[in-house]
A and B are shown apart, each in its own frame.
Chain A
Amino acid sequence: MSDIKHFHDGEREVQQAAGETAIADRNITVMSDTVIAGARPFIAKQFMVVLGSMDAAGRVWASMLFGKPGFLHTDSGSTILIDVPEKERDQADPLWANIAGQADLGMLFIELGSRRRYRVNGTVQRLDAQGVEVAIREAYPNCPKYIQRRHLRQLGEPQLPVQAARGTLLRGVVRDIIRQADTLFVASRHADSGADVSHRGGNPGFIKIVNETTLRIPDFNGNSLFNTLGNFKVDPRAGLCIPDFTHGQLLQLTGTAVAHWNQDDPANETGGTGRFWEFTVEHWLLRDTPQQLEWEYLDASPFNPPA
């Protein structure tokens, strides 16, 4: 443990502020540099992966890819393959240009139906017409808290091109998607430890629209590692991806984030932490998913604080 530096200064600072350094140290023991045996079949049966990447200007983006189970797999446990052939890539998703230029990639394998998730961060080793191969830097399981259960009933064939809209202000349909959201993914990065993408969930309304450029998101009790808040401390650039499960759309936003501590929280939106983070949007992108997706909502996480 003492020989390896597991946390960067931003993560450490935030862990100390939360008084959770010891928990982080204990928790980090579940982290490995390969995908453990039990997680390999899990990855192989997923039809969805969430990705965090950076564009040439340094903006951070969160994306989601879908495919038939088997399109994600790891054979050795030290690299992960994402089999999305070139003709099935929606080039409107910044992901594809991003990973051609910047190798850092955060991956989250999350099965909404069973609330299981496995986080893998690494670097793109190969990007060709067949797909992507990612060398793993760190891999670890995350807890099932705050995940709303959904089953995917049907996954269509990819059809391109799809429609995409862009903007800078939070208005109209974009506001509606945010107001109804119970699930979001947040990507962040650090110069040394690379890209990271993580899940945030709550009851609809847990993401508050402060004004036309600002969102406020409560930070619940988690695994005490503070990867995301720790990254913000050093590099505030952040990417969000908010899926609209009903209409089969993905709202991707990029901008900057800052954490606020010891905030008044009379309605207990944070579940007792008093922590929020505010996201300032610079650009947003609203895309249809290339595949038609038919989701069935099952239930909310019993861990969600009231929104």
Chain B
Amino acid sequence: MSHIITHVIGHSATVKEFHIARQDGAPMQDWQPGSHIVLRFSAADGRVFENHYSLVGAPGAADVYRIAVQRAEHGKGGSRCLHDEMGSGSKVELSGPFNSFPLQAATPARVLLIAGGIGITPMVSMAHALRARNSLFTLHYLSRNASHLVLMDELRAIADMPITSHLSQDSGRADLRALLGTYGEGDTVYACGPAGLLQAIAETGAQLGWPRGAMHFESFGARVQHDDQPLTVELSLSQMTLEVAPGTSILDALIAAEVFVSYDCKRGECGNCYTQVREGQPLHRDVCLTPPMRAEGMCTCVSWAAPGRLVLEL
């Protein structure tokens, strides 16, 4: 094990912050705003988890990396293992940092940061970086209620931090139209949160004239839903039929069957796995496709389908 947890801080009933350092005490690699690490760790029962976590704090040089983890009661178990079994001195394996959610070059136009729940984590480093380069930006923090807001002290400590919280328990769902506003040239939005929120932002943005390339998303959370049924996927060009059980993505089943497919993010953010649908009713869970794209095809990496035949043009 290459790394060690040095410190744990409770932020709320469900969110804990972990500090991670190298075992040999050497400094960590410099990191960029929006970066994440991949953490590998084992539970007492032998299960091994490999999860991605955004780095928290001011980017750049670091002696420790900070992550904030929400305990997901019905998740795959990684966050419960970290919360319930890991503490100061626990060993973990770390790789990265990686950055698939980079901050683009500065423009004079406005920058919107939108966080849904624990999606606040990458926004802290983005806010630090935007403040450092004097960009015009606003952070919108969407949460259920005030007790679920975390890292607020740190955010408020950033000079003149423009932060607005939207609490659904008080005021219902956030008004995304008002929050995004009409697109002006050069405007960018960075949003991190559950896939459903990001889909709503993408759809509202499109209605308000935001080009797809001006909206940057990082999604998290399982897309699998409890009532997903096993699928029989027919491939019309390869003359193959695959049985896919919930928990495995259609894309992973295609790759395992050595069907030749293109893909990239595996999170419904890029559209590179887009596949034409000949028959069937896809249940779309991507955050990148427009309604005309969904009318003909689907992202096999995250989307599922209603029971019945699903025929893909592959």
Give chain B nearest CB distance to A67 CB in angstroms. Answer: 20
Q: Are A302 and B258 in contact (CB under 8 A)?
A: no
Quick check: is B90 within 8 A (CB to CB) of the other chain?
no
Alpha-carbon distance between A221 and B216 when the two chains are bound, in angstroms? 13
Q: Are B262 and A144 in contact (CB under 8 A)?
A: yes
Q: Are A145 and B271 in contact (CB under 8 A)?
A: yes
A-side contacts of B261, CB under 8 Å: 38, 141
Alpha-carbon distance between A193 and B99 when the two chains are bound, in angstroms? 26
Known interface pairs A19-B104, A22-B98, A38-B259; A143-B238 also in contact (CB < 8 Å): no
Give chain B nearest CB distance to A52 CB in angstroms. Answer: 20
Alpha-carbon distance between A266 and B185 when the two chains are bound, in angstroms? 8
Surface stretch bound by B, among A95-103, A114-122, A157-165, A195-203: A114-122
Q: Are B260 and A42 in contact (CB under 8 A)?
A: yes
Q: Which of A24-72 contact B (CB under 8 A)?
A: 25-27, 30, 36-39, 41-42
Q: Are B260 and A143 in contact (CB under 8 A)?
A: no
Give A252-292 as 1s and 0s: 1 = Cβ < 8 Å from B's Cβ atoms. 00000000001000101011110000000000000000000
Alpha-carbon distance between A142 and B262 when the two chains are bound, in angstroms? 5
Quick check: is B214 within 8 A (CB to CB) of the other chain?
yes
Once A and B bind, how many residue pairs between them come within 8 Å at the CB atom? 90
B-side contacts of A223, CB under 8 Å: 262, 264, 272
Tell me the dominant secondary structure on chain B's binding face. Answer: loop
Q: Are B275 and A273 in contact (CB under 8 A)?
A: no
Q: Are B262 and A41 in contact (CB under 8 A)?
A: no
Q: Which of B143-202 contact A (CB under 8 A)?
A: 185
A-side contacts of B238, CB under 8 Å: 38, 41
B-side contacts of A25, CB under 8 Å: 98
Alpha-carbon distance between A203 and B104 when the two chains are bound, in angstroms? 27
Alpha-carbon distance between A272 and B212 when the two chains are bound, in angstroms? 7
Q: Are A272 and B214 in contact (CB under 8 A)?
A: yes
Quick check: is A7 within 8 A (CB to CB) of the other chain?
no
| Chain B interface size range | 35 or more
Alpha-carbon distance between A30 and B105 when the two chains are bound, in angstroms? 28
Quick check: is A224 within 8 A (CB to CB) of the other chain?
yes
Quick check: is B1 within 8 A (CB to CB) of the other chain?
no
Quick check: is B211 within 8 A (CB to CB) of the other chain?
yes
Quick check: is A210 within 8 A (CB to CB) of the other chain?
no
Instruction: Specify which of A37, A118, A143, A262 is in contact with B273 (CB 8 Å cutoff).
Output: A143
Quick check: is A245 within 8 A (CB to CB) of the other chain?
no
Give B244-266 as 1s and 0s: 1 = Cβ < 8 Å from A's Cβ atoms. 00000000000001111111110
Instruction: Specify which of A22, A36, A273, A303 is in contact with B99 (CB 8 Å cutoff).
Output: A22
Quick check: is B100 within 8 A (CB to CB) of the other chain?
yes
A-side contacts of B237, CB under 8 Å: 42, 114, 116
**Residue total for A at the interface (Cβ-Cβ under 8 A):** 37
Instruction: Specify which of A22, A23, A30, A115 is in contact with B276 (CB 8 Å cutoff).
Output: A115
Quick check: is B41 within 8 A (CB to CB) of the other chain?
no
Known interface pairs A26-B100, A36-B258, A303-B293; A144-B274 also in contact (CB < 8 Å): yes
Quick check: is B29 within 8 A (CB to CB) of the other chain?
no
With CB as the reference atom, state the residue of chain A lying closest to B240: A38
Known interface pairs A262-B105, A272-B214; A302-B292 also in contact (CB < 8 Å): yes
Instruction: Specify which of B185, B213, B257, B292 is in contact with A221 (CB 8 Å cutoff).
Output: B213
Residue of B260, B274, B314 with most partner-chain A CB within 10 A = B260
Q: Are A39 and B260 in contact (CB under 8 A)?
A: yes
With CB as the reference atom, state the residue of chain B lying closest to A221: B213
Q: Are B274 and A145 in contact (CB under 8 A)?
A: yes
Give B204-229 as 1s and 0s: 1 = Cβ < 8 Å from A's Cβ atoms. 00000001111000000000000000
With CB as the reference atom, state the residue of chain B lying closest to A17: B105
Q: Are A38 and B264 in contact (CB under 8 A)?
A: no
Instruction: Specify which of A22, A30, A39, A272 is in contact with B100 (CB 8 Å cutoff).
Output: A22
Quick check: is B102 within 8 A (CB to CB) of the other chain?
yes
Q: Are B258 and A38 in contact (CB under 8 A)?
A: yes
Alpha-carbon distance between A142 and B185 when the two chains are bound, in angstroms? 31
B-side contacts of A27, CB under 8 Å: 264
B-side contacts of A271, CB under 8 Å: 211-213
Alpha-carbon distance between A178 and B272 when the two chains are bound, in angstroms? 27
Alpha-carbon distance between A38 and B259 when the two chains are bound, in angstroms? 5
Known interface pairs A26-B264, A38-B257, A302-B293; A19-B214 also in contact (CB < 8 Å): no
Quick check: is B85 within 8 A (CB to CB) of the other chain?
no
Q: Are A30 and B262 in contact (CB under 8 A)?
A: yes
Instruction: Specify which of B103, B257, B293, B313 is in contact with A114 (CB 8 Å cutoff).
Output: B313
A-side contacts of B276, CB under 8 Å: 114-115, 144
Alpha-carbon distance between A272 and B214 when the two chains are bound, in angstroms? 6
Give chain A nearest CB distance to B187 CB in angstroms. Answer: 11
Q: Are B264 and A272 in contact (CB under 8 A)?
A: no
Alpha-carbon distance between A25 and B102 when the two chains are bound, in angstroms? 14
The 6 closest A-B pairs by CB, nearest first: A272-B213, A143-B272, A38-B260, A39-B260, A272-B211, A141-B262
> 11 new A-B pairs (CB below 8 Å) besides A22-B98, A141-B262, A271-B212?
A19-B102, A23-B270, A26-B98, A26-B264, A114-B314, A118-B260, A141-B260, A142-B262, A270-B213, A272-B213, A302-B295
A-B contact pairs, 23 of them (CB 8 A): A19-B103, A20-B102, A21-B99, A22-B100, A23-B100, A25-B98, A26-B265, A27-B264, A36-B258, A41-B238, A114-B313, A118-B260, A143-B272, A143-B273, A144-B274, A145-B272, A223-B264, A223-B272, A266-B185, A272-B211, A272-B212, A272-B213, A303-B274
